[in-house]
Structure 1
């Protein structure tokens, strides 16, 4: 301890003051980052949410609009998660899903030219029912089509795809594997 005090005694007062100010600033910055910033951000978020709830609670039109929007989302999710699909056989479900994917393709000017079922397998608690498709379209149309498939049909997932050029630019040929997932049937 004496060595540290001797070392500090040899440092000029101006440098010692600057060193102390730097340490003080460092401690203040650490306190800000670790102790004050996160609670202040949560407090600001809470005040914003409280203001939003106050406006919503006093405006019946906003409540009605929010209720209508939520009802539309529930209806869309109910349609997408059609419980009748669980009662269908995997082959019937596959035909319906390919039909839906084709319908989405028509919206994006994507032409399906072939569909073939893939090997089924169990994945955790789901049955994976894959199918391979051949499609043609422009790059933008194919990308929009894939995004729309994943957004519109939540039980489907794009497993892989391969794009190649064709003899008719800007048309591209795509081979894509899409998998449908449904809960495994309980075993007796």
Structure 2
């Protein structure tokens, strides 16, 4: 795919933190990146989230970007890497759900236990999705992908203390959310099966 070259002055302004230069770069490359990601992921919501994170990342690392290299190739590499990470996470989540299902069948768990475990897992995923974008990203990288504070710090260009604070806030929110919604699940189950 051919892209016109961005004027060097725009790249220099971008490196200095000029928002208009950033918008220009975003407008120039976002549609093509979106199409590429959509082909890979097939889910517009996931594509929007990754596209957002790609541009957040280049903004955070603007001083480090080597503009002698092809900027679109750099953006595409970041986007593909994030998409592959997401696909791996989705596969792990599916494998976890499958494993839980198989374990439940083998242990001949009661209908109630099976229902409650599935609903609790759905609840956890729902709670994670309600986290603010950066907090969700940090939580996902640490808890679901198993990355260290240092790896996350380097990837997102934030301090390890920020990561720690965000994880504490995430866990506090998730505990509260799950506590508030567990009663609803049990009530729904009771209504569904016994009334």
Q: TM-score, normalised by structure 1?
A: 0.26
Q: Which structure: greater helix fraction?
A: 2
Q: Greater RCO between the two (CA within 8 Å, min separation 6)?
A: 2
